[in-house]
Amino acid sequence: MPRPRSLTQDQVAAAALAVADRDGLAGLSMRAVAKELGMSTMALYRYVRDRDELEGLIVDLVLGEVDTSPPPDGPWRERVEVMAVRMRDALAAHAAIVPLTMTHRHGSPGSLRWGETVTGILAQAGIEGRAAAIALRALIAYVTGAIQLEHLGALSGTGTDAIAELPGDVFPNMAKTAQHARGIGPDEEFLGGLSALLRGLGS
């Protein structure tokens, strides 16, 4: 007879998320998660089939924290902005796992509920069919891409400083833009880009 399970899937997911937060996706392995839980690697297989299932549990755990209830009535762009900020807030705390959302979002209840709410708002604005599909993909790409840029190449980082110091006779536009970028905080960057995207979707 198999031994009874003593851990919940949420506990396994929380341990895996702790490993990913600390060591990045490169450090996420069945062995590392088993160690985090204080068990053998073989014992962990009583709870998950493989790393793929483990990744799905992590995505479920993080996106399960996103508030997917429809925002209060108002202009559709403001309501979509609320949804994008909610997703950003949940993922930004665990930036290392953002790539997993690309491969596991289709099976994540939190991701699906978020998409359902967003497409509902878009439909109310008359954005439906193929236009809605493209708009949803654009929003997902923007949110996930912005989080990765913010954490891997923030405007306040050394990359911006290096670009700002480029010779003005060779890269006048890039150097000037980078000089301005130094003063842009992460919230201004995220909301400014999102605003530009939403204006385009509504045109």
pLDDT given for residue 4 in this prediction: 47
Nearest Cα to 139, choosing from 94, 200, 186, 183?
200
Q: What are the structure tokens assigned to 47, written together?
A: 């709870």
Give, in words, the CATH class of 9-63.
mainly alpha
pLDDT given for residue 98 in this prediction: 93
pLDDT by residue (tens digit) across 97-122? 999 998 998 889 999 999 999 999 99
- The answer to whether the CB of 84 falls within 8 A of the CB of 143 is yes
Mean pLDDT, rounded, for 30-47: 95
Q: What are the structure tokens assigned to 156, written together?
A: 């306040």
Residues 6+ apart with CB under 8 A from 176: 168
Of 192 and 3, the one with more pLDDT: 192
Whether the pLDDT of residue 132 is over 90: the answer is: yes
Cβ atoms < 10 Å from Cβ of 122: 22
Give CA–CA dist 201/132, Å, rounded: 9
Mean pLDDT, rounded, for 49-61: 94
Taken in order 190, 193, 195, 198, is the CA torsion positive or negative? negative
- Where along the chain do its domains lie? 9-63, 76-201
Give CA–CA dist 167/45, Å, rounded: 56
pLDDT given for residue 130 in this prediction: 96
Residues 6+ apart with CB under 8 A from 100: 25, 55, 58, 59
pTM: 0.88
pLDDT given for residue 6 in this prediction: 86
pLDDT by residue (tens digit) across 64-106? 999 999 999 999 999 999 999 999 999 998 999 999 998 998 8
φ, ψ of residue 15 to 5 degrees: the values are -65, -45
CATH number of 76-201: 1.10.357.10
